[in-house]
Amino acid sequence: MRTPSDPQNRDRPQGPKPAKVREDRLKAALKANMARRKAQAKARNAGETASGETDDN
């Protein structure tokens, strides 16, 4: 019989699994990286059209 001072779920791990935490962290880093790359490409394309440069040399 359990007493009120005993932990109820002693056998269950506390918090998410380390692999899940790592996966979530990597997903967030990938998303941020893709957003930066997209912004850089957009800025490059805007700079080329503003200066009038084309690939039709």
Q: Which two tokens stand for residue 26?
A: 């990597």
How far from chain centre, in Å, is Cα 20?
13
Which helix (H) or strand (E) segment is 38 a member of? helix 18-51
- Band (pLDDT 50/70/90 cuts) for residue 50 is confident
Write down the pTM of the prediction: 0.53
Within 8 A by CB and 6+ apart from 54, the residues are 48
The domain limits of the chain are: 18-49
Over residues 1-48, the pLDDT tens digits come to 566 666 666 666 677 788 999 999 999 999 999 999 999 999 999 888
Judge contact between 8 and 2, C-beta under 8 A: yes
Q: How far is CA 30 from CA 3, 25, 40, 41, 49, in A?
A: 47, 9, 15, 16, 29
